Amino acid sequence: MWAFLDGEFVEEKDRHIKLENRGLTFADGLFEVIRTIESKILFFEDHFSRMQKSAIHFDIDLPYCSEYIKNAAHELIKKNGIEDGELYLELTRGTDLHRDHRYPPKRTPSTFFMLALPLRHIDRENWKKGVKLLTYPDLRHKLCEHKTINLLPNVLAKNYAYSNGGYEALMYREERNYRYVTEGGSSNYFMVKDGVLHTPEIDNILPGITREKVTKIIHGLGYELHERRVGLEEFLTADEVFLVSTVSRVMPVHSIDDVHFDAPGTITLKVQEAYEKIFF
């Protein structure tokens, strides 16, 4: 398999990254996961621009323009023969032989690489019948509006969900005895109550690209949508719940812990059908 590393296409045996890379020692970096279908790259500009904005925010050098990376991505897909898959992009603050938490005020050369990965397996029935969520406390820091490679809490949350028969974790934070939903280990959430949709506002959660596309679809279908803080209790008493992400697309939810929902609900189905029709 070929990778694209710091401007070059390299085979597995030639991928030399120093162990002192700050991505490895400090999780000091960013990533993106982009869907490829029949060699087309879905929402490339949105994903790349999210990485660019975060790179500026964290003062990490991203010395490539969107056009250059998009061309390289097409080449990588071709070289690996993965037409339907996931493109993985990672940017780290580069090598730091001294392992100092502080980084030099002058930007150091960063590390940028891309992988073309096969699609993660998802049972097709999940899109028809829905999936189970497990509630889990959101243990993360306050930088969740950025797609950082600092993912241990997400790993724990998703692993907890999987090992208890679930598909995703429904993460929540708690303030003054009020529990509110943030997002999943790698997805955003929507819920429906009395014909109106609600989704957690962008407040220390990832502004998902799929979430943004789905938001437009919901408005286009003429439904009311509120982006606000949504209580965990509201999710548990919802009429319908669904999750969205690059890999899961629009995925109905049939249960949260031991609470069951009709899945897919009528509105979920309409949103799912519209999303599939427009983009797949």
Evaluate whether 225 touches 219 at the Cβ level (below 8 Å). yes
Q: Which is nearer to ligand PDD, 21 or 245 (CB)?
A: 245
Decide if 147 is catalytic: yes
State whether residue 50 is helix, strand or coil.
Answer: helix
Q: Give dist(CA 272, CA 250) in Å, integer.
A: 5
Tell me how long the chain is: 280
DSSP 68-93: HHHHHHHHHHHHHT-SSEEEEEEEE-
Q: Which is nearer to ligand PDD, 191 or 209 (CB)?
A: 209
Q: Which positions lie near ligand PDD, rule CB under 6 A?
A: 33, 154, 183, 186-188, 206, 208-211, 245-247
Distance CA 223, CA 214 (A): 12
Longest dimension (CA), the chain: 58
**How far is residue 221's CA from residue 208's CA, in Å, rounded to a whole number?**
20
At its nearest, how many Å lie between ligand PDD and the CB of residue 43? 8
Out of 147, 213, 216, 270, the active site residue is: 147
Which one, 33 or 122, has the nearer CB to ligand PDD? 33
The phi-psi region of residue 116 (left if phi > 0; otherwise alpha if psi is between -120 and 50; otherwise beta) is beta
* Residue 42 Cβ vs ligand PDD, minimum distance, rounded to whole Å: 10
